[in-house]
Amino acid sequence: MMWRAVLALTLALPVAAAPAPAPAPLTMPAMPLHDPWIVADTATRTYWLFTTNQAEMTGDRRLGIMAYTSHDLQHWTRPTIVFTLPEGTWANDGAWAPEVHRWRGRWYLFATFHNESAGLAKPGTHRRGTVLAVADRLGGPFTLLRDGDPIAPKELMTLDGTLHVDRAGKPWLVYAHEWVQARDGTIEALPLDATLKAAGKPRLLFRASEAPWASGRPQQEGDKIYVTDGPELFRTRTGRLLMLWSSYDDRGSYVQGVARSRSGDLAGPWEQLPPLVRADSGHGMIFRRFDGGLMMVLHRPFHNARGKLYEMRDTGDSVAVVREASELDGETHPTHGG
């Protein structure tokens, strides 16, 4: 019968081999990265780690963002370029603090760029801000939006913008207002519309000097400056709203701090909690492994940085470091907290 002939022919056809997994020869000690951002893609069970493009890793000297991938957080592929800043854009340096967020069915890349030749009104300041790009795939390529205009007002010297969606579903850009302009660096929030464009004025959340552990750096002018870096939002299992952020302590060491909103909303007021990790560590973010475990990734040291991974615990009121996952990040002298 005809169906038997079709079945015989089907059985005789060669079975297509499943695509071989990409080689993953790298471990974190061999991976230069700063301001790490990890997306756990459940569809492919792949971890994507985004960071500033490094020509020695990609062979590409263009200004942009690269991504490593892994299936186990220990073995990583060589990075690929996911975004490059088009020629003729106002910026000529940076590509700092890349973050990739899912919003309304697409992937949005937030990254900070600057141009020291483009001065602002205050002497010694220049254009710096977080721009937006979009892609339909997590691995890009990402396309720059709005000709690269920063999301925050361009007269402000800002960096490290992150997307926060509040409990009402409204998007916000939360960013650091650079100490170069503000002196006492701040964390601010900007309301956005559905296209992730500014829809109001910036709102002050807190100043760096409000953290008891943060230390100001004396300047020749006689004042002190306080640094704010890397705001990242996380809501605990009980609904408490936390913010990871970084600054420096009295030893000149980079610190992974954490703040908590007393109201549970972005407006605060914000209270500063004891740091999560010291030892020149910071700019961290929290993500979940595919088994549901809570993890934090940050970089250490500040210069010549490498990624460090921590197992975390959601306490309900805050988050706590369980241990550094040195079997994953290759750290020979693990730092378990303060």
Condensed to tens digits (0 to 9), the pLDDT of residues 41-50 reads 999 999 999 9
- Given a cut of 90, whether residue 38 has pLDDT beyond it is yes
Residue-level pLDDT at 3: 42
Lowest mean pLDDT among 5-9, 286-290, 313-317: 5-9
pLDDT band at 8 (very low <50, low <70, confident <90, very high): very low
Q: Which of 288, 280, 289 is nearest to 308 (CA)?
A: 280
pLDDT of residue 318: 98
Nearest to 175 by CA among 146, 144, 154: 154
Buried b (16+ CB within 10 A) or exposed e, 86-104: eeeebbeebbbbbbbbeee
pLDDT at site 6: 41
The whole-number pLDDT of residue 11 equals 46
Model pLDDT, residue 2: 44
How high is the pLDDT of residue 216?
Answer: 86
Helix (H, G, I), strand (E, B) or coil at 305: coil
Which tokens is 10 given? 């089907």
Region 159-173 average pLDDT: 98
* pLDDT of amino acid 163: 98
